[in-house]
């Protein structure tokens, strides 16, 4: 809520207090309360009232007393009765206002006016406030017994009091209405400020008049920078194919034209030029004649939903491709071997059986990785942490690699002393294996790797470098996500489901470390990961 709104509601409250106080004084009262009518018209359960010369606690006694007494109605709008002395004492008005034996004001000739010297009491008066629009509330006030107001002269027609009631009710009604409007304005302002969805409003010339904090977060623009600007120029909306959305497709203009615009998908630009998918709903505020006076756009960022959709379809195509290929090879070789009319020499037999075994291993690895990925997603990884000598582990993995692929040249840069780290040996071996497999897979021309290790104050860092195809800067941000395969031709001709780096990152982060890539397209990549040194290790609770 803005400062001016606070001021506004304070002013309105003062206005009601002044109206109530003036009315009570005009009616010859010393204190009182105006209670706004609620549905049950129960003054005690009403939370909306305005006090005059009474405190909250004394008012409770007065209202409790009145509740048990006769109530005014539109037929008999003023009810007066004498207050018990004990209540007068509780209200705390007797001493300050009038001495018990003070003389009453005189209205000569007015029947019912107490005789001189008899005034020692107070009266409560309840006035039924209503107008043509209905009941507004009750004005209860306390006055010295016999202190008549000018609206009660018997020679005046009954209309005088009714006229007063109508005027007072009209003044109070308009103040209450303004108060209700300010409350509504505050409620809407809170929704506008707190909403998670971007909300912006425009005038009929499509210039921005409101821009909520969610919009600021979404676009990077500050409200003060965009107010008064043409909203098209700020958001630069395009359709999903990248074509500019012309004015005829503008959600606001369509809403102005009476069309129902709900969840229209488009792409908008942030301040830094980044584009993202949004779903837009448009509506307008109309004048009394129904003509649009301003338009409202609610904008929901659906980039994440889009990514998930894309991930799902990538998953299906990658997995089906990765499953179908080995299955087809296994089936092909198996049916060849099963032919009764074919005879194979031992070497041909062995090579086919080897191929079947390799493809079965590939299938096994893929299924293993899929299970691994879903375990990570479901709730973290169980670790078996112990001090680990990284250079020893690296040497073991490299030795195995060279037995399997003797043509790969591996250069090792391991310093003579490296601190131990706290890690799960099998999992870190998996990370190393993934990085080495990738370095070979994505370096079709130069099968040369470099593995190095170094220690910093807190961590030990392992780096695997290749002189392969490299990864563009833009794609470097994606490769640690699930099922992300980048790099076009070479990648699509190599096996893989885009899970290795995702799993590696989960493992390294579960150790409290980091994994990252530095790469130049067509020159090669260096993947590095860090693990906390044994003496510094802390193991975070990782929730994926």
The footprint of ligand ADP (CB under 6 A) covers 434, 438-439, 442, 466, 468-469, 471, 479, 484-487, 491, 496-502, 525
Q: Cβ of residue 373: shortest distance to ligand ADP, in angstroms?
A: 10
Cβ burial of 502 (10 Å; 0-12, 13-18, 19+) is buried
Can you list the alpha helix ranges (DSSP code H) found in 251-302?
Answer: 251-256
Shortest distance, position 185 Cβ to ligand ADP, whole Å: 53
| C-alpha to C-alpha distance for 33 and 125, rounded to whole angstroms | 11
Closest CA to 299 of 210, 187, 188: 210
Least Cβ distance, residue 392 to ligand ADP (angstroms): 24
The residue of the chain with the least Cβ separation from ligand ADP equals 496
Q: Shortest approach of ligand ADP to residue 416 CB, angstroms?
A: 28
Q: Which one, of 457, 461, 465, 505, lies nearest residue 481 by Cα?
A: 505
The residue among 34 and 527 lying less far from ligand ADP, judged by its C-beta, is 527
Least distance from C-beta 354 to ligand ADP, angstroms? 22
Q: Which is nearer to ligand ADP, 252 or 451 (CB)?
A: 451
Neighbours of 19 (CB within 10 A): 19
> Residue 143 or residue 482: which is nearer to ligand ADP going by CB?
482
262 vs 371, beta carbon nearer ligand ADP: 371
Beta partners for residue 52, in sequence order: 32
State the nearest-atom distance from the C-beta of 273 to ligand ADP, in Å.
25
Nearer of residues 218 and 318 to ligand ADP, judged by Cβ: 318
We find the least distance from the C-beta atom of residue 422 to ligand ADP, in angstroms, to be 25
Residue 504 CB, shortest distance to ligand ADP, in Å, is 7
Q: Which of 490, 454, 494, 499 is nearest to 471 (CA)?
A: 490
Tally DSSP H helices, then E strands, for the chain: 16, 17
Q: Which two tokens stand for residue 268?
A: 């908008």
Q: Considering beta carbons, is residue 307 or 534 the nearer one to ligand ADP?
A: 307
Name the helix (H) or strand (E) containing 88: helix 85-91
What percentage of the chain's residues is helix, strand, coil (to nearest 5)? 45, 25, 35
Q: Which two tokens stand for residue 423?
A: 């890690």
Given a contact cutoff of 8 angstroms between Cβ atoms, the answer to whether 176 and 36 are in contact is yes
Measured CA to CA, the distance from residue 331 to residue 356 in angstroms comes to: 9
Pick between residue 178 and residue 490 the one whose CB is nearest to ligand ADP. 490
Task: Name the residue nearer to ligand ADP (CB basis): 259 or 523.
Answer: 523
If the CB atoms of residues 225 and 429 are measured against ligand ADP, the closer one turns out to be: 429
Cβ closest to ligand ADP, residue 401 vs residue 469? 469
**DSSP notation for 31-59:** EEEEEE--TT--TTT---EEEES--HHHH
Of the two residues 94 and 501, which places its CB atom closer to ligand ADP in the complex?
501
To ligand ADP, the closest distance from the beta carbon of 193 in angstroms equals 42
3-class secondary structure per residue, 177-228 = HHHHHHHHHHHHHHHHHHCCCEEEEEECCCEEEEECHHHHHHHCCCHHHHCC
**Smallest distance, ligand ADP to C-beta of residue 331, A:** 23
Query: Measured from the CB of residue 277, what is the shortest distance to ligand ADP in angstroms?
Result: 23
Give the nearest distance from C-beta 205 to ligand ADP in angstroms: 49
Work out whether strand 49-52 and strand 198-203 pair parallel, antiparallel, or are unpaired: unpaired
**279 vs 491 by CB, closer to ligand ADP:** 491
Return all residues near 363 (Cβ < 8 A) that are at least 6 apart.
323, 326, 327, 330
Residue 271, classed as helix, strand or coil, is coil
CB 322 to ligand ADP: min, Å: 8
Least distance between ligand ADP and beta carbon 483 (Å) = 8
Q: Cα separation of 454 and 429, whole Å? A: 17
Q: What is the DSSP letter of 230?
A: B
Pairing of strands 122-131, 134-144: antiparallel
Closer to ligand ADP by Cβ: residue 410 or 497: 497
How far is the C-alpha of 423 from the C-alpha of 415, rounded, in Å?
19
Give the residue with the Cβ less far from ligand ADP, 228 or 368.
368
Question: Token pair of 462, please?
Answer: 């392992």
**Can you say whether residue 212 is alpha, beta or left, with left for phi > 0 and alpha for psi between -120 and 50 degrees?**
beta
């Amino acid at each position: 809520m803005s400062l001016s709104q606070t001021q506004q509601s304070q002013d309105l409250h003062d206005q009601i207090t002044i109206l109530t106080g003036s009315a009570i004084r005009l009616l010859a009262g010393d204190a009182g309360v105006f209670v706004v009518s609620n549905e049950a018209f129960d003054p005690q359960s009403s939370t909306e009232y305005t006090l005059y010369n009474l405190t909250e606690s004394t008012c409770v006694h007065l209202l409790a007393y009145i509740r048990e007494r006769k109530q005014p109605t539109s037929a008999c709008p003023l009810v007066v009765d004498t207050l018990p002395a004990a209540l007068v004492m509780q209200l705390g008005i007797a001493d300050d206002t009038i001495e018990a034996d003070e003389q009453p004001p005189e209205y000569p000739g007015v029947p019912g006016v107490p005789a001189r010297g008899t005034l020692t009491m107070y009266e409560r008066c309840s006035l039924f406030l209503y107008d043509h629009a209905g009941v507004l509330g009750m004005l209860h006030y306390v006055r010295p017994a016999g202190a008549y107001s000018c609206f009660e002269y018997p020679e005046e027609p009954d209309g005088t009091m009714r006229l007063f009631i109508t005027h007072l009710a009209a003044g109070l009604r308009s103040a209450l209405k303004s108060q209700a409007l300010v409350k509504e304005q505050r409620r809407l302002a809170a929704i506008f400020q707190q909403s998670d969805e971007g909300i912006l409003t425009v005038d009929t010339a499509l210039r921005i008049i409101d821009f909520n904090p969610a919009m600021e977060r979404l676009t990077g623009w500050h409200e003060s920078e965009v107010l008064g600007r043409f909203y098209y120029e700020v958001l630069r909306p395009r359709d999903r194919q990248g074509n500019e959305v012309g004015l005829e497709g503008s959600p606001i203009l369509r809403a102005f034209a009476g069309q129902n615009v709900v969840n229209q998908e488009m792409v908008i630009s942030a301040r830094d030029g980044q584009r993202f998918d949004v779903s837009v709903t448009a509506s307008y505020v109309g004048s009394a004649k129904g003509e649009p006076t301003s338009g409202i756009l609610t904008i929901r960022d659906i980039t994440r939903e889009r990514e998930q959709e894309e991930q799902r379809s990538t998953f299906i195509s990658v997995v089906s491709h990765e499953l179908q290929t080995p299955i087809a090879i296994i089936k092909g070789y198996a049916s060849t071997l099963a032919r009764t009319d074919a005879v194979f020499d031992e070497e041909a037999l062995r090579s086919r059986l080897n191929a079947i075994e390799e493809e079965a291993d590939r299938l096994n690895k893929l299924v293993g990785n899929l299970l691994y990925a879903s375990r990570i997603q479901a709730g973290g990884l169980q670790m078996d942490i112990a001090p680990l000598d990284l250079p020893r582990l690296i040497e073991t993995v490299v030795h195995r690699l060279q037995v399997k692929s003797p043509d790969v040249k591996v250069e090792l840069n391991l310093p003579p002393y490296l601190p131990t780290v706290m890690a799960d040996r099998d999992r870190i071996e998996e990370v190393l294996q993934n990085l080495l497999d990738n370095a070979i897979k994505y370096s079709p021309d130069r099968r040369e790797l470099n593995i190095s290790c170094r220690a910093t104050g807190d961590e030990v860092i392992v780096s695997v470098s290749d002189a392969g195809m490299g990864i563009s800067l833009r794609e470097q941000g994606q490769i640690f996500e699930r099922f992300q395969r980048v790099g076009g031709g070479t990648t699509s001709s190599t096996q893989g489901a885009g899970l290795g780096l995702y799993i590696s990152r989960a493992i390294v982060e579960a150790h409290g470390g980091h994994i990252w890539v530095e790469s130049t397209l067509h020159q090669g990549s260096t993947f590095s990961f860090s693990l906390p040194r044994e003496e510094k290790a802390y193991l975070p609770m990782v929730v994926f």
